[in-house]
Chains A and B, each alone.
Chain A
Amino acid sequence: MEKTIDIKEKAFTSTRNACKVCTPLGASIVFKGIEGCVPLIHGSQGCATYIRRYLISHYKEPVDIASTNFSEETAIFGGEKNLFIAIENVTKQYNPKIIGIATTCLSEVIGDDMRKIIHKYKTEHDTNIPELVFVNTPSFMGTHINGFHDTVTSIVAAFASNTENRESINIFPGFLSPADLQHLKEILTDVAIDAIMVPDYSDILDNEYTGEYEKLPKGGTTIKELKQTACAKASLEFGYILNKSNPQTQSAAEYLKTAFDIPRVNLNIPIGIKATDALFDALEKITNNKTPEKYTKQRGKLIDAYVDGHKYVFGKKAVVYGEEDFVVAMISFLEEIGIETVLCASGGNSGLLKEVIQEKVQPKSDINIHDNFDFEEIATVCKELKPDIIIGNSKGYYIARELGIPLARVGFPIHDRLGGSRIKHIGYEGTQALFDLIANTLIQQMQDHSPVGYKYM
C-alpha cells in the first residue's frame, strides 16, 4: 500500500477548520503566567473576548483580559488615547504589577508604535504605575505559538538585567499544560536546582478553590525572577522550532545567549523516555548531581508499563496533530513504543517541521508530515489512511466521530472534556499517563467492537 500521500499543492486557498489560533492568544497565556500581570489586548473588543472564551473553555479558570476596545475613531486616529484610558482603568480595577500589552492585526495595520506610545505614557505619569511591557502579535504573522514564544522573549528582554553571579538556571518550557509545569517544578526542586521558569501558569490556570474571584491569582514568574534571568548558569529551552518561522525573532534563550552570553541548552519537549532522559542528563550536567532515585524509579516503572502494554500499541497507526514542537515530541514518543505515525500535521508554518523530524526524531518509516494543515485536510488524509487512533486536541473530535476512530485528547485546546489543564504529558510521569491513555483508548476500541465484550484484556 502506498502510504505517503503527495500533497504538492493545496486544494483550497482558504483555511477550513483551522488547526491553529491567532498570535495574541499565545501572548495572553504567557502574560497569565507572570505574577500580578493583566493581559491587555490592543485592538477591537472581540479579540479579548473571543480569546477569553477560548481559554476559559479549556482551563475552566477565570481569564481576565482587558481590551483597548477600538472604535472607528481609534482606527483612524490611532490607539494611543484608548491605550492610555485602558492602562488607567486596568490599574484602577486590578492594581496589577505588570500590564502585558499584546498588539493585534488592527493596531499593527494602522501602525501604532507601541514603544513610543508606552514611553509617552510613562513620561506623562508618575513612577507609581505598573510595569508596562508589550509584544507585537499581528495575527497575520504566525500562529498562537509564535505569539507565545515572542511574548516570552519580549518579557525576558524587557526585564533581564541583573548580572550578579548566581547558581540558578532559566527554564523556558514552552506551551505546556499547567500540570506539566507543576511537574517540571517538582523535578527542579528534587534535583535541587534554583530555577526560574518563564512563564509559570501552573497555579494561575489551574487554581485551587478559595471562595474568591481572585483579581490577580497567586503564582507566576515574578519581576525579580525575570530580572535574574540575565545571570543564570544556563537556559533550558524545550522545543526545536519555537518562533523560528520568523527569522527576525529569537527565542528567550537565544536572546539571553546573545545579550548576556548565557549558555543555551535546547531540548525536545520531554515526552517519552528518550526525551526525558535527555532532560535529566542535562540537569545532571548542570548540577553535577545524580538524578534522584524518585525519577529513576519512575523511569523503571514506565519501562515496566511499556512492556506490559507493548502488544496493544505496537504496529498501530496514528494521526497526530497540534503545534509543531508538540507533534515533534509526540511522535518521538510514539516511535519508542512502536506506534507508527501515518500523519503528522500542524497548523504552524515554520517551514522547518519536516527537517526537524527527520533530523531529531529519525522515524523508522515514512511519515506524512504536513505543516500549514487544517482539520479538513487532516480529515481527508484520515479517510485515506484509516489510522487506529487520532492523537491531538479536542477539535479533531468531529473527524474521529465521523470515521469511528478513537481520539486520545492531548495538548490544547480541550473544549469538550474536563481537566484540560490537568493533562500530563512530560517527564516519566507524564509519559506514563499518556501511555496509559493511548493504550487504553486502543484497548477500549477493541473491546467495544468485540462481539463478546470480554472481561479480561
Chain B
Amino acid sequence: MESILKGRQNQVLTKGTDSHELSCDKSSLAGSVSQRACVFCGSRVVLYPIADALHLVHGPIGCAAYTWDIRGALSSGPQIHRLSFSTDIKEQQVVFGGEKTLKKALLELISAYNPKAAFVYSTCIVDLIGDDVESVCKDVTNISGVEVITVQAPGFAGTKKDGYKVACDSLMKLVGSKGTNETIPNSINIIGDFNLAGELYLLRDYYEKMGIHIMATITGDGRVDDIRQSHKAALNIVQCSGSMSNLAMQMEEKYQIPNMRVSYFGIEDMSDALYSVARFFDSKEMMDKAIELVGSEVRDLLPKLEFYKKALAGKKAAIYVGGAFKAISLIKALRMIGVKTVVVGSQTGNKEDYLTMKNLSDEGTILVDDTNPLELTQLVKKTNTDILIGGVKERPIAYKLGLGFCDHNHERKLALAGYKGMLNFAKEIYATAMSPVFQFTKNK
C-alpha cells in the first residue's frame, strides 16, 4: 500500500496472506504522525490515578498543561491528582538551573495540599540543564516528611512504553514501605485498571462478593498508603499488561507475589478474571460465589444483548487502541454482538500480544503496530470498515470517512468493563453504527 512508510512494512500484516511476524516494540519513525506520545506520557498515565499524591511536572509548561485532568480516572476520595502542577521553567532556569525553583515549588505545594506523597516528573530538558532532581527530592522529603519520588521521564528516552516502566520503578519505591511482610489471606491487588467512568467500583464489588479482600487498587482510585502495603497481597491481578506487568514482575521478584493477567472487557474475559482468581485461591466457596455471580449477571445480560446482536449482524469493526490487551478483549466482545473485526492494532503491543491477536482473528484480518492516520485510513477503507474503535486522535479519522466511532480511551465517560460495561459497549456500538446521520455521508 502506498501509504505504508518504508521501515514500517513489517509492522502491518494480513492474517492468512503474510508470512512475516508482526514487528513491534520499535520506536516510531521520524516524520511519521504516530498516535503515540512519549516516555513522560507513559509515566504520567500510570501514576495519574494516585489521587492523594501530588504530581508536579518539572519542565516548561506544555507537559503539565496537556495532561491537566486529561483522564477519566475517578477517585472516590481526594482529588489532588486532577490538578496540574508545573514548575513552568523559563529561560532563566534553563540558563541557571531549576533546582531552587523545584525545591520552593515542592515545599509550597506540599504545605498547601498536604499530599501523602509527591511525584516529580523530570521532563526532556531537566537533565540537560543539569538539575539533580533526585537530590532535591531527597532534600524536600527530609524537610517536609512527605516522601517525594522522582519520575525520570524525559520524553525522548524511549517510547511511551518505557514510560510505563519508569512509573513502575517509581511505584516500587512506595510498595512495601508500610506494615509487616505478613501476607493477608485471600487478598489481591488490582493493577492496571484505571477506574475510568468508575469501572473499578464494579470490579471491587464483584471481587468482594466472592469474599476477596482488596489490598490496593494501584492505578485506579489509588492511594499512597494502600500502595505502601500492597506487598501484603497474596496475588496481583494485572490488566493492561502493556503498562503494568513490569510492576507485577518486580513485586514477584521482591515480595514473591504471584501475578495473573486478566481483562475485564467482554463477558468471556470478565468471567475468566473472576474464575481464575477463585481457582488461584483454590477455594470452592469462592468459585461457587463466582459461578453464582457470573450466572446471575449473564442471565440478565444475554437477552438484552440479543437486540444489539441482531441489529449489528455483519458489521465490520477496526480497532486501534493504546494497549494490546484491550484490543484482544475487544475482538471477543465485538464477536459477542455480531461484529467482525477486520483491522486490529495497538500503540504498544509486544510479540506475544500480537500472536494472541492473530490467533483470535479471522483470516484476512489486518494486524498493525504503531500506525498513523494515513495508514489507518487506507486500512479501514480497504476492509470496508463500518465502525472504528479508538481514542480522541482516531475519532476524526472515522468521522471524516463517514464511519461510526466508539471511544475506548482514557477520557470516556461510559463504563465499558464488566457485565454492565458490556451492555454499555453494545449500546455505544449500536448508537454509532445505526445513527440516521450517516444517510447523508453515503455517496449520492
Contact = CB atoms under 8 A, between A and B. Distances in A.
Given A56-B393, A65-B33, A44 B402 contact: no
Contacts of A53: 66, 392-393
Contacts of A25: 62
B62 to A, nearest CB: 3
Contacts of B87: 13-15
Contacts of B159: 45
B181 interface: no
Most chain B CB inside 10 Å of its own CB: which residue of A48, A64, A93: A93
A49 B108 contact: no
A49 B393 contact: yes
Nearest to B395: A56
Nearest to A81: B30
Given A75-B128, A106-B124, A213 B5 contact: no
Contact of B93 (A17, A64, A140): A140
A24 B62 contact: yes
A212 B378 CA distance: 10
Contacts of B400: 62, 207, 209-214
Interface string A57-72: 1001111111111111
Contacts of B393: 49, 52-53, 56
A89 B31 contact: yes
Interface in A68-98: 68-72, 74-75, 82-83, 85-90, 92-94
Contacts of A110: 128
B5 A109 contact: no
Contact of B441 (A12, A140, A211): A211
A12 B109 contact: yes
B431 interface: no
Contacts of A143: 61
A395 B64 CA distance: 14
Nearest to A74: B156
Interface stretch (B15-23, B78-86, B232-240, B417-425): B78-86
B31 A18 contact: no
Nearest to A73: B156
A367 interface: no
Nearest to A18: B65
Contacts of B88: 14-15, 18
Nearest to A90: B31
Contacts of B59: 105
B107 to A, nearest CB: 9
B396 A44 contact: no
A20 B68 CA distance: 12
A244 interface: no
B392 A57 contact: yes
B414 interface: no
Interface residues of B, number: 74
Contacts of B101: 13
Interface residues of A, number: 75
A90 B373 CA distance: 12
A69 B401 contact: no
A21 B65 CA distance: 6
Interface stretch (B37-45, B253-261, B294-302, B307-315): B37-45
A215 interface: yes
B61 A106 contact: no
A14 B86 contact: yes
Given A45-B34, A62-B400, A14 B109 contact: yes
A218 interface: no
Nearest to B163: A46
Interface string A312-356: 000000000000000000000000000000000000000000000
A74 B105 CA distance: 31
B156 A14 contact: no
A363 B105 CA distance: 35
A52 B68 CA distance: 15
B374 interface: yes
B7 to A, nearest CB: 8
B128 A68 contact: no
Interface in B142-172: 154-160
Interface string B414-444: 0000000000000000000000000011010
B35 interface: yes
Interface in B278-304: none
Interface string B114-153: 0000000000110011000000000000000000000000
A89 B65 contact: no
A16 B85 contact: yes
24 contacts: A13-B87, A15-B87, A18-B68, A20-B65, A21-B62, A44-B40, A50-B63, A62-B397, A62-B400, A66-B32, A67-B33, A68-B30, A75-B156, A89-B31, A89-B32, A104-B124, A106-B125, A109-B129, A140-B89, A143-B61, A211-B401, A211-B443, A213-B401, A398-B69
Given A14-B87, A63-B396, A211-B443, 11 more contacts: A12-B108, A46-B37, A46-B63, A46-B155, A49-B41, A68-B30, A68-B31, A70-B155, A106-B155, A213-B396, A213-B400
Listed from nearest, the 5 A-B pairs whose CB atoms lie closest are A46-B38, A89-B31, A44-B155, A22-B62, A86-B31
